[in-house]
Structure 1
């Protein structure tokens, strides 16, 4: 049975809800049934197998070199720790608005604002990165124009209330896995390889000023690859919508992350074997470049179509997540209250529109690799706060051991500060400015006697 999802996103709040959430001001439709483990896994895979896998391995390889698989494993460990904390918080606070709400409930309003701002910056940058991937694969001659157009189209769809369904999640996950399987087979067993690199090919890395490969380079690469795992929290926010949440969420998280880790390791290995490290770091569309070495144009078209569909889905999810969290913060007067408006389709159309405009700005000013780094840094800060909030849960409410939250907190901070310096500085400026703005707006609203809602 197809069940409609509403405002599908990573951590902007549970996409299903049996009752209205007055804090968000959105009344999702009632459920026609409950999700099982398989459906939860499909939703998680559809969220994780998105734009990241088609673009992140080039800048990550520039940092880690031949140690790229180690970076993939480290990113998977961070994702597992963060998913564990998010799942426990989602079960304990099923209607708290994601990381923004968890931090407010378990830590303080100030911590909640930091989590909310970090999430917004991360999702807007993620949307810009997804649009950039779409442009690089679909119309590489004009990637920025293509990215801008696709953001406009997806923003309009988001405002119109277009949402993913469980059935579409199955189709998306299955289709993307099939495309990636082709890439892996060509990379590992195809006739092409690193020696087929044309002398006229670009020798410039996708992202400038990357650290040289080494121990720290593996951590830098892991921070970038983490971007490709970030959809795991799509599962963790299904607490009220699955049968036996404590058991189902744990199994679904483990299965989805396990499948994704194996797939990413296979893709990373295929890229290293098929292209070689030196060529991989220069490719803006590495998966297409890999299948092109096999001299099979039809496979290149297949990969481009797969990238376009995955990037479009990731873009829709990112903008929806940003809009929902922006709505939650506007309802509390921590963003301009004008963003709390709900349109006739039940969507926060003003917040969605602002998110789309900001995503265009980031897409124009930064390429996909820079947007990935910015998103990864912001989301890692967000999950550092989430892990800290999870440590405040009493033992009786935890299904995962506390050490997973401790490890997740430490790794999130470590990977964030070891990302390329430019992205760290831009993230710090954006988070400080956003946090101060939200704090001032909140205090101004409190002085006027405004009430949340």
Structure 2
């Protein structure tokens, strides 16, 4: 296990930092997120994207400062636990693990829709179990492999965007924007920002890695900023391209906008090629979600909040029981809910987690640099506002998670304060 960590620490250099972050970001938020964002805000979805970007910048900064002070996996949990107390730490950890499980399920369902639309649930379960096996074997996508996956993602996006703009859109029904998403109300804009926030959440692979293989601080700052900007640009271009070809109304109703836009643009022959490319490009994102859930899970096991047996590792040094439980939970959830519903809940729970993460960083930096501390305050407020703009079902599910999770942790640890 020590040899594996040392090897990965050497690989996570400045030049490897950017693909490490991008390979975890360019996922369902970019490929599927435009549809629920259009449903929430219509043409104002791009403003929601800017709000999501600002919240992600604050969250990335907060987690980077926490990981620099707490070097073990689960730095956010450790910081919140020490600075804010046991209950907020349990709430944040419960929200984070549940969000990552839901994100895994959403990613896997989208992979299933791309590979085999008629059997997407079955493919989703197989994809999750495949990634769990790969993670248990110690697979980590780094260096040249990460660049290859980023290149594949960029190729898929570039092809879809080129087709959208190269072929004149077919006339459709007039655009209708929901009154709740009008410029007279900010609800639609922040609602779009909430679901688009999910597009940026791969930054933890760089700012707070699960294995402690941390890049140099300046590399984290440069690569983190660049990856967030690149993801925002790709998301914005994808939203504009899809809306240009489909129109805002059709985009808002599309469960799989990439497939629908190719059909609408008379490029149906390219659907299999683009679908397979997009599905393969999502595999590192699925692995990244599992790694992130594992990081918080290990912190809970180390603190006695989860059974110690979950810390048991295999020959590769990976906690196979923890990975397997997360994977099985994701498989079950993927069979019960649609990708958009899973994305909404994952975004809501993650925003709650990052609200607490920003609050913990605010206390951590109380005697430190002024601007990072103010950024943590801004991130805390933005995270709360975006979380409160999510669908009621997502908020209620998140509420259930943050009630049940701490209770179970209390029962396991027999600690209540």
The runs of at least 4 aligned residues of structure 1 exceeding 4 Å deviation read 395-400
- Alignment-derived partner of residue 284 in structure 2: 313
My pick for the range that moved more, 306-315 or 350-359, is: 306-315
C-alpha spacing 1:406/1:277, structure 2 compared with 1 (3 Å): same
Q: Given that residues 62 and 212 in structure 1 are in contact (C-alpha distance below 8 angstroms), is that contact kept between their aligned partners in structure 2?
A: no
Mapped to 2, the partners of 1:429 and 1:376 lie a distance apart of 15
The DSSP-based 3-state class of the residue aligned with 1:28 is helix
Name the Cα RMSD after superposition.
2.4
Of 128, 137, 143, the match for 2:120:
143
Corresponding position of 2:181: 213
Task: Give the deviation of 1:32 after TM superposition.
Answer: 6.7
Whether 1:391 and 2:367 are equivalent positions in the alignment is no
Correspondent of 2:28 among 51, 54, 63: 51
Structure 1 window deviating more from structure 2 (121-130 vs 324-333): it is 324-333
- Residue 97 of structure 1 and its aligned partner are, at CA, apart by 2.1
Question: What is the rounded CA distance, in whole Å, between the counterparts of 1:188 and 1:252 in structure 2?
Answer: 30
Q: TM-score, normalising length from structure 1? A: 0.84
Q: Distance between the aligned counterparts of 1:339 and 1:404, measured in 2?
A: 36
1:416 aligns with 2:387: yes
Structure 2: how far apart are the matches of 1:96 and 1:319? Answer: 13
1:369 offset after TM fit, Å? 0.5
Superposed displacement of residue 329, structure 1: 1.0
Distance 1:32 1:268 in 2: 37
Equivalent pair of 2:25/2:203 in contact (CA under 8 Å): yes
Render the CA deviation track for 1:328-380: whole Å, top value 9, x for unaligned. Answer: 21232211232222122211111111111110121111110011011101110
What residue number does 2:145 align with? 168
CA distance in structure 2 between the partners assigned to 1:371 and 1:241 by the alignment: 30
Distance 1:32 1:98, change over 3 A: closer
User: In structure 1, how many angstroms separate the alpha carbons of the residues matched to 2:292 and 2:372?
Assistant: 28
2-structure distance, mates of 1:424, 1:334:
24
For 1:171 and 1:322, the matched residues in 2 are separated by 24
* Structure having the larger proportion of residues in helix: 2
Tell me what 1:256 maps to.
Answer: 227
Unaligned residue ranges in structure 1 (runs of 5+): 1-5, 7-19, 21-25, 198-209, 447-453
SS in 1 for 2:364: coil
Distance verdict in 2 for CA 1:211–1:78, change over 3 Å: farther
- The 8 Å contact of residues 11 and 143 in structure 2, kept in 1 or not, is answered as no
Shift of 1:396: 6.5
Counterpart Cα distance in 2 of 1:220 and 1:445? 35
Note the C-alpha offset of 1:419.
Answer: 0.2
CA distance in 2, matches of 1:267, 1:275: 12
State the shift of 1:130 in Å.
Answer: 0.4
Using the TM superposition, name which of 257-266 and 319-328 deviates more: 319-328
1:153 matched to 2:130? The reply is yes
Contact 2:5–2:213 (CA under 8 A) maintained in structure 1 = no
Match of 1:303 among 242, 259, 274: 274
1:391-434 Cα shifts (integer Å, max 9, x gaps): 11236654853221111100101111110000100111011100
* Cross-structure match for 2:377: 406
Does the 8 Å contact 2:204/2:292 carry over to 1?
A: no
Q: Is the 8 A contact 1:118 1:378 kept in 2?
A: yes
**Could you report, residue by residue, the CA deviation over 1:280-332 in whole angstroms, capped at 9, with x for unpaired residues?**
12222211221233323453233212321132222222123223322321232
Are 2:70 and 1:99 aligned? no
Pairing partner for 1:83 from 57, 60, 75: 60
In the superposition, the TM-score normalised over structure 2's length comes to 0.91
Q: What residue is the counterpart of 1:241 in the other structure?
A: 214
| Alignment length (residue pairs) | 408
Which of residues 311, 322, 334 is equivalent to 1:363?
A: 334
Q: How far did residue 194 of structure 1 move?
A: 4.9
CA contact (8 A) 1:211 1:420 kept: no
Contact (CA 8 Å) 1:113, 1:439: kept in 2 or not?
Answer: no
